[in-house]
Chain A
């Protein structure tokens, strides 16, 4: 140890730029959660500040997408169209876009906020979390609209609809973990941002947005894998809750819960392990 380090030790100074312990880190994160929320809300406001329709765009764009997919897949794939097709499609698209929106925004959360990371000290995990919060703020009015939409297409509300709430919580936990993993990976590998649209596309076709995987896949092992894909499970449980004629088993709920907590814990730890390095790579 050099003289200067000895001097610092004698004056009881602590080392700068070391990663805090996980418990300490999470406590710090919880204390600063207002920043994540405000950043999410304000960036959302800023993103539509200049357009004349303003925040309405957050609803109009998904509505247009549902219309397009509904026409294209409803007509083209009429043979394998699942029953109650429109409610099936609406729930699928709204919730799928929420989950993938969380991790694609999460992936950019560190790299696109580079000036923030380079000049202010806060738990970096606030950024992927803020990306998720901003997606939650966007999806809540959409879910309301989704419910109105499926009512309009003949579904009748019942107590089962409340199961949508725990399902939404589970998918949010999963999406938060995925957002953290994506955020760190993109810092190490900027190229991932180019690949993300393809990953989302593959998930789009394999998560049963407009066809029922359980009905059209007949290879045993593939069916097990596709069925237990977390995104498929969250969509399926949502339909079991709000669309007539669909059901989810206790095993589905269990697997969906395990996915949610496993990815959340994994994502948090994985993100935290590189905490002191984010300032360098962006």
Chain B
């Protein structure tokens, strides 16, 4: 018990929210907090970090501790941070999939999460999975029929589309997932680590498609550990650290600061 006080009592320095009066906001995140309550199965070994509170066997993990941000029309925002910094939690909260404990989130239309992979059944052919994934995303049967060829060609899987998906390589699966999700128009699109797997050619095409999606009235959030993907596709970036926004600014300055903090400065 003689250990240092947890640092959560110290005031945290968060940068002011990135505000621009002349552009139209499409997503507003206002002081959002999310705490996970989990039953721990093991013994506590270390004093633990400040975001984990212990109440008997119930541990509370503060995944987001007051996050605020505004995304504007046409924004393409890279979200970076170390593992466990709250990136995925924030994205799920914005898409409305995860209930938040306090604060509020507003959007011009329901943000869609590029998570079509969850609907896929690996025992079935790629073809059936295109149908299932499309329906899961809310497309109609006719819409899927119209876009089917485009989806298959975009994924570059023409020769394999009748094979069970379990025979695909992980890169092929990722390509198919992205192609299905990107076939639909989304006003607000959230992409969590989708593009790291594809090969060069596919990456180039998917990044182009993402810029296209963001260039409309909408906005794109891209969670990635690849600074290159973010610099290539995003105009803005947000650095999350231990559940708070550490930095919010242009993609270049945020990536540069983050890379430096990680001990691997950007080349140029």
Binding site for B on A (CB under 8 A): 2, 4-5, 7-9, 11-17, 32, 34-35, 38-39, 42-43, 45-46, 49-50, 113, 115-122, 276-277, 279-280
Tell me the dominant secondary structure on chain A's binding face: helix
Q: Which residues of A contact B259 (CB under 8 A)?
A: none
In the complex, A34 Cα to B138 Cα: how many Å?
Answer: 10
Contact of B74 with A by CB under 8 A: no
In the complex, A34 Cα to B142 Cα: how many Å?
Answer: 11
Number of A-B contacts (CB under 8 A): 132
B30 near A14 with CB under 8 A, answer: no
A38 near B99 with CB under 8 A, answer: no
25 A-B pairs in the complex with CB atoms less than 8 angstroms apart: A7-B28, A7-B70, A8-B25, A9-B106, A11-B24, A13-B27, A14-B107, A17-B99, A17-B100, A17-B105, A34-B141, A35-B135, A39-B136, A43-B121, A45-B124, A46-B123, A50-B123, A118-B97, A118-B118, A119-B92, A119-B116, A120-B115, A120-B137, A122-B136, A279-B92
Q: Which of A2, A49, A121, A277 has the most CB of B within 10 A?
A: A121
B30 near A121 with CB under 8 A, answer: no
Contact of B14 with A by CB under 8 A: no
Residues A49 and B124 in contact in the complex (CB < 8 Å), given A8-B28, A121-B112: yes
Q: Which residues of A contact B94 (CB under 8 A)?
A: 16
Nearest CB in chain B: distance from A144 CB, A: 26
Q: Which residues of B contact A5 (CB under 8 A)?
A: 28, 30, 104, 106
Q: Which residues of B contact A43 (CB under 8 A)?
A: 121
Return the chain B residue nearest A4 by Cβ: B30
Q: Which residues of A contact B100 (CB under 8 A)?
A: 17
Contact of B68 with A by CB under 8 A: yes
The number of residues on chain B lying at the interface, defined by a beta carbon within 8 Å of a beta carbon of chain A, is 47
Return the chain A residue nearest B110 by Cβ: A121
Q: Which residues of B contact A280 (CB under 8 A)?
A: 98-99
Within 8 A of A (CB), among B195-219: none
Q: Which residues of A contact B137 (CB under 8 A)?
A: 120
Q: Which residues of B contact A9 (CB under 8 A)?
A: 106
A121 near B96 with CB under 8 A, answer: yes
The 5 A-B residue pairs with the shortest CB-CB distance, nearest first, are A119-B115, A8-B106, A13-B106, A17-B96, A115-B118
B26 near A4 with CB under 8 A, answer: no
In the complex, A111 Cα to B107 Cα: how many Å?
Answer: 28
A16 near B96 with CB under 8 A, answer: yes
Return the chain A residue nearest B121 by Cβ: A46
Nearest CB in chain B: distance from A124 CB, A: 11
Contact of B79 with A by CB under 8 A: no
Please name 13 further chain A to chain B contacts, defined as beta carbons within 8 Å, in addition to the given A17-B93, A35-B135, sorted by A numbering.
A4-B17, A7-B70, A11-B24, A12-B108, A16-B95, A49-B124, A116-B119, A118-B98, A118-B115, A119-B92, A119-B118, A277-B99, A280-B99
In the complex, A2 Cα to B115 Cα: how many Å?
Answer: 32
Nearest CB in chain A: distance from B28 CB, A: 4
Nearest CB in chain A: distance from B192 CB, A: 9
In the complex, A119 Cα to B192 Cα: how many Å?
Answer: 10
In the complex, A222 Cα to B108 Cα: how many Å?
Answer: 58
In the complex, A5 Cα to B106 Cα: how many Å?
Answer: 8
Residues A16 and B31 in contact in the complex (CB < 8 Å), given A42-B132, A121-B96: no
Residues A279 and B110 in contact in the complex (CB < 8 Å), given A42-B121, A116-B136: no
Nearest CB in chain B: distance from A75 CB, A: 41
Contact of B111 with A by CB under 8 A: yes
Residues 2-32 of chain B: 1 if any A CB is under 8 Å from the residue's CB, otherwise 0?
A: 0000000000000001000000111111110
Within 8 A of A (CB), among B134-160: 135-138, 140-141
Q: Which residues of A contact B93 (CB under 8 A)?
A: 17
Q: Which residues of B contact A17 (CB under 8 A)?
A: 93, 96-100, 105
Contact of B131 with A by CB under 8 A: yes
Contact of B51 with A by CB under 8 A: no
Contact of B246 with A by CB under 8 A: no
